[in-house]
Amino acid sequence: MENFHYLGKKVNAPSKQLDTFPKPVNVQTVKFESNELTSVCPVTHQPDFNTVTIEFAPDKLCIESKSLKLYLWSFREEPIFAEGLANTISEDIFTAVQPFWCRITLVQNIRGGMQLSVVAEKKAVAFLREID
């Protein structure tokens, strides 16, 4: 528990820090889903409400869920388009746990009659060699 910044502690602020822990032996895929991801449009500054699905194939590490919730909260006031948001999350997840692959699916709530879905994927170089 001493390695975790947030788990078991009272936290009142968002954070970009993602805590990790060693992957259990038989875990092949990890999937998180949240409908609480918000950001703001960089042009209109109106809020964007999103559902995000985070999937990855861990190599050695997994993400602790409380730190992930605080991480997603950190985008609440950030002016960013959905495409950039999905990409940023994929890069940050990949950096934190160095998985074989990760996939971020972001679905923005309908606004102005438009539904927007974005998928950002990143694969480890070694994994790319395996599937070629």
* Residues taking part in catalysis: 41, 48
Q: Name the residue type at position 55.
A: E
- In angstroms, the CA 58 to CA 24 distance is 10
- Paired with 61 in beta bridges are 22
The single residue listed with the structure tokens 């990409």 is 87
- In angstroms, the CA 29 to CA 12 distance is 30
Q: Strand, coil or helix: what is 55?
A: strand
CA dihedral 23, 24, 30, 36 (to 10 degrees): -80
